[in-house]
């Protein structure tokens, strides 16, 4: 099938007990909508519609699925359902909340709590990296709480990246898009190759998927923090394995961020999975223990423009959030 773009359900469409308001995004695997339930509560609905297998044409509701793609389409649908079912068992403020799941229009739909905000990717793009340490710590310690919950249910996310980290208007993060989690099941289905995002996926995604584990999500967390500093994704792990050109965070931003944060990022981004923190808990411990007084004195001595030791760190977090809220409300 040639590359194609699927048409979204039209605004006003009655889908089960929901009414479609608008399309929020269109990905290669699904379409996300803003909709309202019977009480007029907003929800986000994700529609399973892989454009390699199914085509919804303008003016149609039912997608066309060529006979030969039906087995792959159904298999993907089953995995999408499994994803929803697993997520529905999770109830954590930093993990997207699944409210419902239903079949319609020859496909399946996952209903989620609608979160108001923007992705961390939007924020990084807007600021071209250079995100403050206090903000990075605030976002990632909370995100890791959510990830810990995910791992405790024996689930790996496998596609953590700034565009799958959603920031509510108050800055608290929500981990979204567990689509890749199902792909561990799909390696033998040629139509639906495992997806990974260059720059954020761990080396074991490319070569040895048997080695995938919590440390693989931890690599992606490290790469996402790296992107907060650099403004873009680091070199892809498969290329790094041939010729690693990633400059260590602890060298590149020395004097601008605490040594401890930079070393934590470098540790998470180790190519050898055994050298990374092995659990989210271990990583959280190193993010949570920030010897602010000492580090700030050091950074000031190093002439960092972004740090003022006399300014209380909490004031800086507040200032960062007020800038963040102003940007959000634009």
Ligand X SMILES: Nc1ncnc2c1ncn2[C@@H]1O[C@H](COP(=O)(O)OP(=O)(O)O)[C@@H](O)[C@H]1O
Q: How far is the CB of 170 from ligand X (least distance, A)?
A: 15
Stretch that binds Mg ion, among 148-156, 172-180, 232-240, 273-281 (CB under 5 A): 172-180
Residue number with CB closer to ligand X (35 or 249) = 35
Residue number with CB closer to Mg ion (140 or 166) = 166
Question: Which one of Mg ion, ligand X, none interacts with residue 29, CB within 5 to 8 A by kind?
Answer: ligand X
- Residue 171 CA: distances (Å) to CA of 4, 98, 139: 36, 21, 7
- The conformation of residue 8, written as its DSSP 8-state character, comes to P
- Do 73 and 169 meet the contact criterion of CB atoms below 8 Å apart? no
Question: Which one of Mg ion, ligand X, none interacts with residue 290, CB within 5 to 8 A by kind?
Answer: none
Instruction: Pick left, alpha or beta for residue 298 (phi over 0 → left; psi -120 to 50 → alpha; otherwise beta).
Output: alpha
Residue 224 sits in the site that holds Mg ion (CB under 5 A): no
Distance, in Å, from the CA atom of 215 to the CA atom of 268, rounded to the nearest integer, reads: 8
Residue number with CB closer to ligand X (121 or 307) = 121
Which tokens sit at 171?
């800055």
Go through the chain and tell me how many residues it has: 330
- Do 174 and 111 meet the contact criterion of CB atoms below 8 Å apart? no
Is 224 exposed, middle or buried (CB count within 10 Å of its CB: 0-12, 13-18, 19+)? buried
Residue number with CB closer to ligand X (198 or 255) = 198
Q: How far is the CB of 216 from ligand X (least distance, A)?
A: 18
Q: How far is the CB of 40 from ligand X (least distance, A)?
A: 16
Interface residue list for ligand X (CB under 6 A): 24-25, 27, 29-30, 32, 44, 96, 112-115, 119, 163-164, 176-177, 179
Residue 320 sits in the site that holds Mg ion (CB under 5 A): no
Question: Which one of ligand X, Mg ion, none interacts with residue 30, CB within 5 to 8 A by kind?
Answer: ligand X
Residue number with CB closer to ligand X (195 or 319) = 195
Q: How far is the CB of 214 from ligand X (least distance, A)?
A: 21
Which tokens sit at 152?
């405790």
Q: How far is the CB of 42 from ligand X (least distance, A)?
A: 9
Question: Which one of ligand X, Mg ion, none interacts with residue 33, CB within 5 to 8 A by kind?
Answer: none
Region 32-91 residues binding Mg ion, contact defined as CB under 5 A: none
User: β-strand 18-26 against 165-168: which pairing, if any?
Assistant: unpaired
Residue number with CB closer to Mg ion (48 or 257) = 48
Handedness of CA 207, 211, 140, 260 (dihedral sign): negative
Q: How far is the CB of 237 from ligand X (least distance, A)?
A: 20
Distance, in Å, from the CA atom of 186 to the CA atom of 261, rounded to the nearest integer, reads: 36
Region 174-193 residues binding Mg ion, contact defined as CB under 5 A: 177
- Do 45 and 35 meet the contact criterion of CB atoms below 8 Å apart? yes
- Binds Mg ion (CB under 5 A): choice among 6, 121, 134, 164: 164
Question: Which DSSP string do the residues of 187-250 spell out, in sequence order?
Answer: TT-TTSPPP--TTTS-HHHHS-GGG-SHHHHHHHHHHHHHHHHHSSPPPPHHHHHHS--PPPHH
Using alpha carbons, select from 220, 218, 199, 196 the residue that is nearest to residue 209: 196
Q: How far is the CB of 160 from Mg ion (least distance, A)?
A: 10
Q: How far is the CB of 18 from ligand X (least distance, A)?
A: 14
Question: Which one of ligand X, Mg ion, none interacts with residue 112, CB within 5 to 8 A by kind?
Answer: ligand X
Which tokens sit at 68?
């030969």
Instruction: Report which secondary-structure segment, H or E, holds 223.
Output: helix 214-230
- Shortest-Cβ-distance residue relative to ligand X: 27
- Do 49 and 31 meet the contact criterion of CB atoms below 8 Å apart? yes
Q: Which residues bind Mg ion (CB under 5 A)?
A: 164, 177
């Amino acid at each position: 099938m040639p590359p194609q773009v699927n048409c979204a359900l039209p605004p006003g469409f009655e889908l089960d007990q929901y009414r479609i308001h608008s399309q929020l995004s269109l990905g290669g695997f699904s379409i996300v909508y803003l909709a309202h339930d019977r009480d007029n509560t907003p929800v986000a609905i994700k529609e399973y519609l892989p454009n390699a297998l199914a085509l919804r044409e303008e003016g149609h509701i039912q997608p066309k699925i060529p006979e030969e793609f039906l087995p792959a389409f159904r298999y993907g649908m089953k995995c999408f359902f499994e994803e929803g079912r697993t997520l529905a068992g999770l109830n954590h403020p930093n993990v997207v909340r699944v409210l419902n799941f239903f079949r319609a229009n020859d496909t399946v739909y996952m209903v989620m709590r609608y979160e108001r905000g923007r992705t961390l990717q939007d924020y990084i793009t807007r600021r071209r990296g250079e995100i403050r340490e206090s903000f990075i710590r605030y976002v990632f310690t909370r995100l890791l709480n959510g990830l810990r919950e995910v791992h405790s249910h024996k689930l790996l996310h496998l596609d953590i990246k700034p565009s799958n980290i959603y920031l509510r208007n108050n800055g608290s993060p929500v981990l979204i898009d567990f689509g890749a989690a199902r792909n561990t099941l799909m390696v033998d289905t040629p139509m639906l190759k495992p997806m990974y995002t260059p720059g954020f996926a761990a080396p074991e995604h490319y070569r040895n998927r048997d080695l995938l584990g919590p440390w693989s999500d931890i690599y992606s967390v490290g790469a996402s923090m790296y992107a907060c500093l650099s403004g873009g994704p680091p070199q892809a792990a498969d290329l790094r394995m041939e010729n690693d050109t990633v400059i260590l965070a602890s060298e590149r931003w020395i004097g601008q961020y605490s040594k401890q944060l930079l070393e934590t990022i470098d540790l998470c981004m180790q190519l050898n999975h055994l050298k990374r923190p092995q659990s989210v808990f271990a990583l959280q411990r190193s993010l949570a223990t920030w010897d602010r007084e000492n580090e700030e004195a050091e950074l000031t001595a190093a002439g960092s423009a972004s740090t003022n030791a006399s300014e209380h760190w909490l004031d800086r977090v507040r200032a960062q959030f007020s800038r963040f809220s102003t940007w959000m409300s634009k």
